[in-house]
């Protein structure tokens, strides 16, 4: 059932029509940017961040994605970052500066969407809660955040299309949906399914007010198609079209098996679980549960989005009051569910990826905190407790990222891509800076493309990382052939990755997949160890070819 006060509304508050609301929204944007700004230079050298940054650098050096180096990502983030590097220089801070701006956009859009049916306080609260737990949770420049900005803009445009049916909003919705796909195809596909479901419900239940009709469908289609045309033309002109298609479809055959995780999975080591929840006093364990409870709450919010979709879909009957507000609830919920579906389709619906896909879910959270859209006595009575809980424990959870981030990064390290701040020292980057010239080729195995970027080194292979259980034998053979042909002088190897790290981060990897490591065998046959270096939580072995001496 729906809230009777809400269903009486035939029109929504549209903040974009009010200078006051726009002013508040821009203030929210600015404060969000300021909140996230101190995180920019702080790094834990997490390997995923190097994939796009080093890929963008390879493009600037004349290589063509898919033709010259492999990636199963769509090209958006690589070329977007290459453009920014071309304009502002290849700096770590150039990439990191985007993240506070993205956080500001998430907060602005959450406020503008939630404010349509919520009071100002709950719209602001929804924006705040996502701000403090999302980007700080994984403050890394990744294609996930690039694509989420575009996906959220697509959801916003879809809502505006429902409110004000026009070819302009239809074209904008299609364009942002297409760009989302070109930055992350799984997210674009999931969002396409979600928005299509929302439009279909409106067409069936409110055919008299359907935002997509024979007039606006061509505009929506044109908006979706046009961004693909220059992309296809570019890769075709560089003789990379067939390889592009092969790389885009690669995850269908390789990604899922070792990446499979349960819904809502929290990626903690067994030692981490024991320290938080399995040891200490009852008070310590209870405090740990409460402090980390946003990780358990966030995966539940999509279930409420589904409830809103069903309830308001059923309410969309002719003559039923609140049609416009129900159309709004349907479209936002459908967009949320489409983005969650994208995480499920990639077989990694863990908390991290639910946050990567979850900015619009903060709107649903704002509805729940104000008990909007559902005639629930429980929500009405529990609202003060829910608001107090979210304010206290989301804030406390967010503060842990400050404590282990900007407030605990005493080690400053100058790299060839600028200054970074670390909580624990890294010995690898200074060593490579001393012993490897800029532009020289080194090989890092299995996973740490970040070292290529930060040391301005180059990769002799087409693969910025190789992972047992994910990459095929043919891809390992290709990389080893390229490594042998190049006669690469130096290798940086993490020998514990395939025995320890992979079992924690990719627990679905079958042990038999790890039994044979062709790269390890090649390195032991052709290289000699020179030194062992520590980097944050990991230890690397530096090797040189056996015909060379250690420096």
Per-residue DSSP letter, 137: G
Q: What is the 3-state secondary structure (H, E, C) of 101-117?
A: HHHHHHHHHHHHHHCCC
CA dist 512 and 278 (Å) reads 30
Residue of 365, 366, 344 whose CA lies nearest to 353: 344
pLDDT at 10: 41
pLDDT, one tens digit per residue, over 79-110 is 999 999 999 999 999 999 999 999 999 999 99
pLDDT at 246: 95
pTM over 0.75: yes
CA dist 540 and 531 (Å) reads 8
pLDDT at 15: 75
pLDDT, one tens digit per residue, over 450-466 is 999 999 999 999 999 99
> Is residue 63 scored above 50 in pLDDT?
yes
**Location of structure tokens 């910025």:** 464
pLDDT, one tens digit per residue, over 250-263 is 998 888 878 899 99
> Is residue 203 scored above 90 in pLDDT?
no
> Is residue 17 scored above 80 in pLDDT?
no
- 41 versus 324: the higher-pLDDT residue is 41
Per-residue DSSP letter, 423: S
Long-range contact set of residues 308-313: C-beta below 8 Å, sequence gap at least 24: 308/332, 308/333, 308/364, 308/367, 308/373, 308/374, 309/198, 309/201, 309/333, 309/334, 309/337, 311/1, 311/2, 311/373, 311/374, 312/2, 312/373, 313/201, 313/205
> Is residue 321 scored above 70 in pLDDT?
no
pLDDT, one tens digit per residue, over 154-179 is 999 999 999 989 999 999 999 999 99
pLDDT at 213: 73
Token pair, residue 219, equals: 């505009």
pLDDT at 9: 38
CA dist 273 and 280 (Å) reads 12
- 213 versus 202: the higher-pLDDT residue is 202
> Is residue 521 scored above 90 in pLDDT?
yes
């Amino acid at each position: 059932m729906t809230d009777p006060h809400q269903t009486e509304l035939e029109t929504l508050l549209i903040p974009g029509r009010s200078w006051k609301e726009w002013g508040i929204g821009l203030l929210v944007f600015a404060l969000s940017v300021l909140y996230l700004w101190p995180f920019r230079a702080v790094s834990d050298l997490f390997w995923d961040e190097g994939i796009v940054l080093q890929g963008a650098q390879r493009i600037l050096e004349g290589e063509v994605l898919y033709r010259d180096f492999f990636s199963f990502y769509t090209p958006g983030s690589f070329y977007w970052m290459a453009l920014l590097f071309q304009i502002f220089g290849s700096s770590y801070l150039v990439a990191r500066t985007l993240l506070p701006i993205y956080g500001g956009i998430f907060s602005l859009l959450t406020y503008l969407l939630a404010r349509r049916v919520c009071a100002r306080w709950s719209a602001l609260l929804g924006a705040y809660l996502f701000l403090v737990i999302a980007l700080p949770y994984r403050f890394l420049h990744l294609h996930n955040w690039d694509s989420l900005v575009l996906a959220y803009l697509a959801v916003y445009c879809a809502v505006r299309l429902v409110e004000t049916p026009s070819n302009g909003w239809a074209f904008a919705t299609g364009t942002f949906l297409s760009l989302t796909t070109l930055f992350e195809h799984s997210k674009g596909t999931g969002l396409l399914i979600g928005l299509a479901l929302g439009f279909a419900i409106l067409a069936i239940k409110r055919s008299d007010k359907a935002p997509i009709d024979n007039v606006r469908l061509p505009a929506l289609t044109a908006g979706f198609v046009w961004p693909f045309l220059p992309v296809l033309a570019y890769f075709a002109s560089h003789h990379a079209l067939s390889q592009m298609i092969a790389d885009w479809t690669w995850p269908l055959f390789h990604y899922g098996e070792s990446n499979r995780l349960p819904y809502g999975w929290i990626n903690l080591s067994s030692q981490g679980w024991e320290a938080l929840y399995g040891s200490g006093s009852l008070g310590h364990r209870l405090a740990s549960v409460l402090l980390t409870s946003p990780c358990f709450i966030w995966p539940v919010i999509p279930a409420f989005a589904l409830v809103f979709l069903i309830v308001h879909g059923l309410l969309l009957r002719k003559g039923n009051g609140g049609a416009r507000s129900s159309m709004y609830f349907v479209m936002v919920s459908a967009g949320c569910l489409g983005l969650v579906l994208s995480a499920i389709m990639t077989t990694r619906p863990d908390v991290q990826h639910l946050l990567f896909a979850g900015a619009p879910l903060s709107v649903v959270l704002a509805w729940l905190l104000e008990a909007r859209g559902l005639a629930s006595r429980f929500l009405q009575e529990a609202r003060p407790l829910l608001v107090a809980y979210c304010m206290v424990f989301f804030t406390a959870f967010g503060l842990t990222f400050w404590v282990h981030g900007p407030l605990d990064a005493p080690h400053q390290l100058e790299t060839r891509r600028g200054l970074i701040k670390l909580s624990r020292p890294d010995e690898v980057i200074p060593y490579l800076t001393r012993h490897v010239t800029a532009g020289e080729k080194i090989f890092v195995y299995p996973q740490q493309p970040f070292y290529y970027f930060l040391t301005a080194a180059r990769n002799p292979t087409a693969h910025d990382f190789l992972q047992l259980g994910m990459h095929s034998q043919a891809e390992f053979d290709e990389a080893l052939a390229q490594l042998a042909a190049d006669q690469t002088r130096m290798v940086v190897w993490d020998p514990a990755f395939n025995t320890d790290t992979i079992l924690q981060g990719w627990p679905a990897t079958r042990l038999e997949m790890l039994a044979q490591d062709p790269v390890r065998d090649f390195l032991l046959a052709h290289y000699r160890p020179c030194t062992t270096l520590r980097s944050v939580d990991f230890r690397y072995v530096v090797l040189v070819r056996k015909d060379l001496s250690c420096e």
